[in-house]
Amino acid sequence: MRPIEGLSLLITGGASGLGEATARHFVERGARVTITGRRADRVATAAAAIGCNGIAGDVTDAADRQAMIEAAIAHGGGKLDALFNNAGNMYRATIETVEQDKLFDVFNSNVLSAMLLTGLAVPHLAATQGSVLFVGSVHTRRSFPTASPYAATKGALQTLTQVLAAELGDRGITVNCVIPGSIPTEINVRAGLLSEEEVRARARDLLSTQAIAEIGQGGDIAEAADYLLRARWVTGAILDVDGGMGLGVTRA
């Protein structure tokens, strides 16, 4: 395992949810973490609470992506060891009502921006024989009607993980993907699909589809991220952390 003490880590979408939990996990163990997010106030508040570096920016903006890399390197002591591509948005629609602009937007935020940010990070990660982590989704394991736009972006990231693992292996860079299950976060609230209470109720309703009938927490993903970002001989892995939801459990 790569040492966690002093590890320089950039986490996009790190001001809330899975990104925030992962940032907290790494900082508590001595890593030098930089989080990003679109809202400057949220990023500043989260960074202060976690004890990490924060930079406001939009992963879909080229100049902001460059600034994120530079901020992480500066905070990390002149190096970058790991990139966690966590930022993402939700878009749901029936196939008859999908809007082109919204479809392009969700692919840009979830897939294209992560690809481009990774490309910027590669020369620095090659210098440290570092790691990249993407976030997939249980939406690629279970079929939820109206979720095709979001599920398609996550399927793309899971394929991208394995292609980049093959492409970057000879430069000493590992590339992996974690697939979270139903964990209450803000993604559906930001998309205007559910209220916070409805998000929690939805997670409770989905317990019957899991082998382990407990609601997942951000810390569960943080533990998986720790392993995948620091393991030296694991690449191209797609790790399900979902309480067994992807198994297709039925209790009829």
Which of the residues are catalytic? 150
Closest to 28 measured CA to CA, from 56, 43, 49, 2: 49
* Burial grade of 84 (CB within 10 A; 0-12, 13-18, 19 or more): buried
Name the helix (H) or strand (E) containing 243: none
Do 126 and 118 touch, CB atoms closer than 8 A? no
Q: How far apart are CA 224 and CA 135, in angstroms?
A: 11
The DSSP element (H or E) to which 179 belongs, if any, is strand 174-180
Nearest-angstrom CA–CA distance, 47 and 62 = 23
